[in-house]
Structure 1
Amino acid sequence: MKTCLVVDDSKVIRKVARHILETLEFDVREAADGREALDACLADAPDVILLDWNMPVMSGMDFLRALKEAGLPQRPKVVFCTTENGMAYIRAAIEAGADEYVMKPFDRETLESKLQIVGVA
């Protein structure tokens, strides 16, 4: 079973994402900020990470940089999931190492298509 780490400071977003991902047959773990997510990845890296941009403790961008520096043998695919929709944000996310980008709010079809694009659905 594929694994997904949902990283978002919103409990509601984590719950919605978990529900969608479980219907897509993912084993889902959650983290409320980038630091928690990095610790989870170092302990047991998921296949894919659904990553929020704006979070306390460690932002999505800071998490991406730290993940890159962690030197994991198999880097998880990263789908940024945020309300930031400007081209500059999207470009910055991709340049920092994100594999794909999805806007909030998202639905099952949108999320599934992004996961297919990165090769995990």
Structure 2
Amino acid sequence: MNINLVHFIVPCIDSIVARNFYKRIFGFKCVKKEKNNITIKINEKMEFKLENTQEYINNHYIFEVDQNFFDTIIMNLKKEEMYFGDNINNLENKKIKKTSTKSEVFFIDPNSHLFQIFTKVSTNPQ
């Protein structure tokens, strides 16, 4: 079976603040704007619909990215002087969790959603 998630609603206190944040940190582009709902393109197959809502909940988003994109995200977090951490219980230590198989960080976006970003470590023998 081939199945792809193509659209995900992200509850927001302020969709414009969220759009601007995702543009600065990830480089995501806005593809549609309707009143206070904004759709941004994550990749060729997936979009986030940033939806203002009064019934707000926090979500946990996990992204696997390549090493270059991981480095760009870390650089952008530092440029924004944002907190990030190497584990879910310490989001302010500005450390990257590194294991033999991956590197990862955790941070909170302006709408209090938890982001976990990781990249797999290359295992090519030299």
Do they fold alike, i.e. is TM over 0.5? no
**What TM-score comes out, normalization by structure 2 length?**
0.29
| Structure with the higher fraction of residues in strand conformation | 2
**What TM-score comes out, normalization by structure 1 length?**
0.29
| Structure with the higher fraction of residues in helix conformation | 1
> Which entry has the higher C-alpha Rg, 1 or 2?
2
